[in-house]
Structure 1
Amino acid sequence: MAKKTKLGGRSPFREAALGFALGAVGGCILGATEDPVDRILSVMTSAGPMKPLMDEVRTVGALGLGTLIGATALTTAMTSVVAGVFTAAMVASVFVATRSCCGVSYKDSASLWASAGIAGAFGTTLSGATLGVAIEWIVKNYGMVGLLWVLSIFTLIRPPLHFLVKFLLKQDEKACCILGGTTTDWAREREQIQIRELQQRQRVAVQIEQRILNAAASGGGLEHRLPWADERRQREELERKKRENEEAEMEQRTIQDWINTVVIKHVDFLAFSGIPMTVIAMVTSGFGVFGYGGHQSVFLVLLALVGIMGYLLVKSSDFKFWMLVGCMGMLATFVIAMLTLHAGQVVVTTAMKMRVAGHNMSKETVGARMNYQSSLEALNAAFFVAKMCGLGLGATVGGPLVRQAAGEGRVIVGAALVAGGLLAGVEVLAPVLGEGGKAGALMGVVGAAGVSVGAVAALAGRWSSWPGTLGTIAGMVLGALGVGKWHIVNIGLQLPVAYVFAMTNPF
């Protein structure tokens, strides 16, 4: 798949107009996710759903609660996006292997990209909904300790699965042959062309021999020159078919290699990126379980863990994409833990000021308010960070697709339409999904919207003139703010994150 650096061939005014329109599409779908996410967050932070979290603050401590909720939310967002990428890659691989788009360019096939995009978005949303329902059930039935065990086991089994998937990918070529007979088809076509070439050479040799024997009688008229023209046309047709066959085979191998590369990179990402933040959650929650949840040593250990693991990852001689996201996830988990702890301390400070003013509060009241504020802050921060993570990872898919010349309009509009359809589907199925399922599904929808936003960000950098770039950015910002009810702070933070991830090349 050939890469393109700049888009040209249009006037600056047309570039600005087209960029504004496409940017507005990506921005509108991003803004459309704001209100549903805010509504489900309001439901989850009401008294009923908050009670299990408030009870568990006493078990794992404020820091443990923050790191555990943060790591779980980020793991859900990462897993759902990777599940979508796997689903899309599998559909695209099957599509190419069975040669369903025979006769047209693979990279220009609308059916290929539409099938992969719809499958990927559906896989992301379904995975998020499934994980959301599972997490809700675990917390209600087994509390935060049960969630800690499940998160730890899930993190431990992913590296072995990583090696299993890589082994299966090595069998990809054989699987494609069994599935669609692709390699056999190419070999059969080459053999048929070679047989036809040999037959033509034999036929021409016989005709030449007959011409030589009948040269004196033929007189070299037009009726004897016509068969030679027919033979020449047949030979040119065979050469054309042979060339097209070779080009199609090469194009298929190229796109299949790219699909395999994407899958391998995301396998690494899924297997290892969650380890740093899960380690932090395990350590801080362990301190809380053994009765040291509020001790200063927990903060010191947490700070040391973040510093050591961050240093080891950044100093790696072979720095990879999963290490970058692992560092970011670890820092985000650290920030969530600090916000959770700070929320409880604010309650204590307020109680002390009220006591000085003559308004005494019982320890039970102060403790209940501390637990509530800590749980509320942990849930709010984790939800926001998970949304940013899903958006960024979606942008990591959309950006490279545009740079790989998959068609900027196709990616932006297609991803936006699919995300909009999924958003409507989630709203319809909300009673069936429940609170956790809807929250997880919405994280998947945000990831699908991130594909469109990342494609817009990549498009903005590919125009040949500044009006095209500025028009694209303006369309995205205005679309996101207008549809997102002018949530300037939230959207203002999301757009730079989407841009950074869209410009990152994990492949």
Structure 2
Amino acid sequence: MSPVMESAKGFVLGAVAGGTLGATEVPVNRVMQEIISGARLKPVMSGIKSIGALGLGALLGTTALVTSMTLVVTGVTVAASVALFLLRWRKSEGWAAAGLAAALTATSSGAALGTVIEKLSTSYGMVSLLWALGVFTVLKLLMHFFVKYTFTEREFCGSITDATKSERARLLAWEVDLRQRAALELEKRIEMKQPEEDGLSAWEAQRREREEMKRQQRKAVELETQQRTSRRQLLKAVAKYMELLAFSGIPMTVTAFVTAGFGMFGFGDYRFVFVVLLVVVLGMSFWLMSSRRLNFWMLMGCMGMFATFAVSVLTVHAGQEVAGVSVRMRLAGRNISKENISIRMNRAASVQALSAGFFVSEVCQVGLGAAVGGPVAREAGGKVVLWASVSAAAVLSTVEVSSQMLGVGGKAGALLGAAGAAGVSLGGAAAVAVKSDSWGGTIGTTAGMIFGLLMFRKCDIVNTGLQICVAYLFAMTKLY
């Protein structure tokens, strides 16, 4: 392929991937407006009174990130299970069906989790999310150990499928039959004293048949070895992603418990809580990053803690901005009651907490999706980008059709699943760009990604650049 054609092909793939992720922006913003402008904001505003603005930001940030990680791990686990099932039937192209199953599972899981979060927050207040996070952390640990001792390599890789057994039996019967016919041909030739030319033609036919038989035997051995390797890699991926789900949320959950705990005991508005939160984040990050064996879940845990910390700071900052504006308005002669100022501060902080929580969860979905799409695209090529985009489009259409049935919380969670599928497409495009033989292909693919993202956004260069950098970073990350 010429450099010009490679650049054009890369640009198309990048535009498809970027456009897929950009298409999720409109429905996500629509859901955000429904939450902010409606009565669903009241539980969030009342949560500030019970756990403070800093605690609310930490709680919503942790909830958003844990939900995003759960969706990705659920999708990967289902995809690996489908791929293992198809490998038992000798389906070498089963990754497309596995990817579609993963997208649908992540979407349905997101809808379920979003509905649960909405019900808990509206019925029992924001503090109920804190206890739900604690219970979910314990359940994830139990699930991790269950999968670790259930999805064993011996069970899935050591077993010989029925198709493999039948293929071995067929080749063995063919070999025995060929030997018997060769022996009979030799006896017949000795008894009948056939001419030398007839014997040579018969031996030539048997030689060709033996070569064909050996070729099929080699092919069967290679296929069985490839299947065993694929099973081993799939099981390893499931184990690593379950480890990510079980342990990466613990640092964020601890941070949310510490910060919200101070707020529940009436210390939410004190400045020293911010110092305690910063010490907790830095201490746990130093402990995790200084580990002798740095795992992917440790890196994600640290990134999640700093993202939670950022959401908390932005939440407090939004309320302080309103307070500063109110002070200036008072100095200008406008009379504003303290109650009105407090309501405005709580509303601004709640809106900022929700917006920042949505943003970090979307970036998390893009990153973890790219961590899935990158390694797959390095083997399967641009097909991954196209199929992931088709899956994301199917998910968006399904969510749009069933929006009335899902509700706001379910629709928000389902859209996170669509963002994960779009992240797989974007990560696949990033892997194709890095794998390209020329700089033209790399630049063309990157330009296509930027073009596709900006098609659905109003020249949001900062967010576009951030998501592309995240896609490249996670697409090149080797999880296992």
TM-score band w.r.t. shorter chain: over 0.9
Partners of 1:466 and 1:79 lie apart in 2 by 37
Q: Would you say the 8 A contact 1:30–1:484 is kept in 2?
A: no
List per-residue Cα deviations over 1:68-102 (Å, max 9, x = no partner).
01100111111111111111111111111122x3x
1:20-419 counterparts in 2 under 5 A? Answer: 20-99=11-90, 101=91, 106=92, 109=93, 112-170=94-152, 173=155, 182-212=160-190, 214=192, 217-220=193-196, 222-403=197-378, 405-406=379-380, 408-419=381-392
Partners of 1:192 and 1:116 lie apart in 2 by 30
Pairwise CA distance, 1:149: 0.5
Q: Would you say the 8 A contact 1:480–1:491 is kept in 2?
A: yes
List per-residue Cα deviations over 1:96-155 (Å, max 9, x = no partner).
1122x3xxxx2xx2xx12201110110111111110000000000111111110011101
The count of aligned residue pairs is: 480
The amino acid across from 2:426 in the alignment is V
Partners of 2:320 and 2:70 lie apart in 1 by 33
Q: TM-score normalized by structure 2?
A: 0.96
Change over 3 Å in CA distance of 1:483–1:365 after alignment to 2 = closer
The amino acid across from 1:389 in the alignment is C
Q: Which moved more, 1:240-249 or 1:200-209?
A: 200-209
The amino acid across from 1:75 in the alignment is V
List per-residue Cα deviations over 1:310-352 (Å, max 9, x = no partner).
0011101110111111111110000000111111222222233
List per-residue Cα deviations over 1:435-462 (Å, max 9, x = no partner).
1111111111001000111111111111
Change over 3 Å in CA distance of 1:372–1:172 after alignment to 2 = farther
The aligned counterpart of 2:470 is 497
Q: SS in structure 1 opposite 2:266?
A: coil
Identity, % of aligned pairs? 48
Pairwise CA distance, 1:209: 4.2
Q: SS in structure 1 opposite 2:40?
A: helix
Q: Which moved more, 1:51-60 or 1:253-262?
A: 253-262
The amino acid across from 1:241 in the alignment is Q
Partners of 1:35 and 1:219 lie apart in 2 by 83
Partners of 2:38 and 2:5 lie apart in 1 by 53
The aligned counterpart of 2:448 is 475
Change over 3 Å in CA distance of 1:483–1:174 after alignment to 2 = closer
Pairwise CA distance, 1:353: 2.5
Question: Structure 1: where are the runs of 5+ without partners?
Answer: 1-9
Q: Would you say the 8 A contact 1:63–1:337 is kept in 2?
A: yes
The amino acid across from 2:53 in the alignment is A
Pairwise CA distance, 1:358: 3.1
Partners of 1:361 and 1:484 lie apart in 2 by 37
Q: SS in structure 1 opposite 2:436?
A: coil
The amino acid across from 1:302 in the alignment is L
Q: Would you say the 8 A contact 1:268–1:322 is kept in 2?
A: yes
Question: Structure 2: where are the runs of 5+ without partners?
Answer: none
Change over 3 Å in CA distance of 1:172–1:141 after alignment to 2 = farther
The amino acid across from 1:204 in the alignment is A
The aligned counterpart of 2:428 is 455
Q: Would you say the 8 A contact 1:31–1:485 is kept in 2?
A: no
Q: Would you say the 8 A contact 1:391–1:447 is kept in 2?
A: yes
Q: Would you say the 8 A contact 2:153–2:235 is kept in 1?
A: no
CA RMSD of aligned residues (A): 1.8
Partners of 1:82 and 1:164 lie apart in 2 by 15
Pairwise CA distance, 1:490: 2.7
Q: Would you say the 8 A contact 1:351–1:360 is kept in 2?
A: no
